[in-house]
């Protein structure tokens, strides 16, 4: 992997981390972000590594923990932050908020708040591409908790029956809300659930961006060759709670420290750059400073932006109000 690409991945992961940390402050300390907020801290390598493996035209659809994916597909931090703050300059005009970021231009179809429901939409996107005869694929992300939902099983079954070009990406962070896998799922390996539908599955170290990229690249290539759906179980860990009000008291003492101190995805890539590519630490520090400045400017842009005008409340609603009357 060339050094420029690795440095860009490092920058993207640091951007996601700093963006999320600032979002936490804006929610809890300043009250500028309201509603729901699900942070992605700890899982940055998955969004950056998987999306780096796709090409233009490939679809991305995910669940409500979607800030990292939005930044990884290239949505400017200012537009994402403005959306979190409910401003008209947000990526979807202040109408979606934290859980519903989307960009048609980038074939990023956003986050969904109903657990597992979007998996069936991802299958529909893959069916569309197969029907059109293109080589585009769909990257469909979900958490381990969603694998117990009916949408998941129906979707995997149909994707396998029709040999659809979709990569199911399970971000296994060990907990569905506050419940561990062992207490909620009879199958402790999510790839075993994929095997039930004869879908090839692979467990991947989701804290290592190089492993994430390589596995995703191979899965996408298999889809493009007409080999049907693929399943990747990315083993990862969210450092924060399920959502902003979760104090994580259900975790065993010391578990977070092990993941954060020994397996952190940013530190892992940082060490790789320093030791294998002789990158100067000063360069990485300058990247971090530039990212902090970018996030600060995103907050400033959002602060100065206005909320949606009340007269536009019914814009983008398909049925005509006049006809309804």
Please, what are the domains in the chain?
3-303 (3.40.50.970)
Token pair 């923990």 is at which residue?
65
Q: Is 35 exposed, middle or buried (CB count within 10 Å of its CB: 0-12, 13-18, 19+)?
A: exposed
Report how far apart, in Å, the C-alpha atoms of 3 and of each of 8, 216, 297 are: 9, 20, 27
What is the reported pLDDT for 322? 55
Residue pair 61/141 in contact by the 8 Å Cβ criterion: yes
Pairing of strands 138-143, 59-61: parallel
Q: Whose CA is closest to 266, among 44, 98, 93, 21?
A: 44
Q: Whose CA is closest to 188, among 144, 237, 238?
A: 144
Containing 217, the helix (H) or strand (E) segment is helix 209-224
Pairing of strands 138-143, 166-172: parallel
Residues contacting 145, CB < 8 A, separation 6+? 115, 175, 176, 177, 179, 184
Total Cβ atoms within 10 A of residue 303: 14
What is the reported pLDDT for 320? 59
DSSP codes joined into one string, 66-116: -HHHHHHTT--HHHHHHHHTT-TTSTTTTSS-TT---BTTTTB----SSTT
Give me the tens of pLDDT residue by residue for the chain, a chain 325 residues long: 899 999 999 999 999 999 999 999 999 999 999 999 999 999 999 999 999 999 999 999 999 999 999 999 999 999 999 999 999 999 999 999 999 999 999 999 989 989 999 999 999 999 999 999 999 999 999 999 999 999 999 999 999 999 999 999 999 999 999 899 999 999 999 999 999 999 999 999 999 999 999 999 999 999 999 999 999 999 999 999 999 888 899 999 999 999 999 999 999 999 999 999 999 999 999 999 999 999 999 999 999 999 999 998 888 887 655 554 4
Total Cβ atoms within 10 A of residue 257: 9
What is the reported pLDDT for 323? 56
């Amino acid at each position: 992997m060339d050094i420029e690409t690795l440095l860009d991945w490092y920058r993207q992961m640091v951007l996601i981390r700093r963006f999320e940390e600032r979002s936490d402050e804006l929610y809890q300390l300043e009250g500028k972000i309201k509603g729901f907020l699900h942070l992605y801290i700890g899982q940055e390598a998955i969004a950056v590594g998987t999306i780096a493996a796709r090409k233009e035209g490939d679809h991305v659809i995910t669940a409500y923990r979607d800030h990292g994916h939005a930044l990884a597909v290239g949505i400017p931090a200012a537009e994402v932050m403005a959306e979190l703050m409910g401003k008209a300059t947000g990526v979807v005009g202040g109408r979606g908020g934290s859980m519903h970021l989307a960009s048609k231009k980038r074939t990023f179809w956003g986050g969904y708040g109903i657990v597992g429901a979007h998996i069936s939409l991802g299958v529909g996107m893959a069916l569309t591409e197969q029907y059109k005869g293109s080589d585009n694929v769909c990257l469909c992300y979900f958490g381990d908790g969603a694998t117990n939902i009916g949408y998941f099983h129906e979707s995997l079954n149909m994707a396998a029956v029709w040999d659809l070009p979709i990569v199911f990406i399970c971000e296994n962070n060990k907990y569905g809300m506050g419940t561990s896998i062992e207490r909620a799922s009879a199958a402790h390996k999510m790839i075993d659930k994929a095997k039930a539908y004869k879908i090839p599955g692979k467990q991947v170290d989701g804290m290592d961006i190089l492993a994430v990229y390589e596995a995703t690249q191979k899965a996408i290539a298999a889809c493009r060759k007409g080999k049907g759906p693929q399943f990747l179980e990315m083993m990862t860990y969210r450092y924060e709670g399920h959502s902003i009000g979760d104090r994580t008291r259900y975790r065993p003492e010391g578990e977070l420290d092990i993941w954060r101190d020994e397996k952190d995805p940013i530190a892992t890539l940082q060490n790789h750059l320093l030791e294998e590519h002789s990158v100067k630490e000063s360069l990485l520090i300058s990247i971090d400073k530039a990212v902090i400045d970018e996030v600060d400017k995103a907050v400033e842009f959002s602060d100065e932006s206005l909320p949606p005008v009340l007269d536009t409340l019914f814009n983008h609603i398909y049925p005509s109000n006049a006809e309804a009357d």
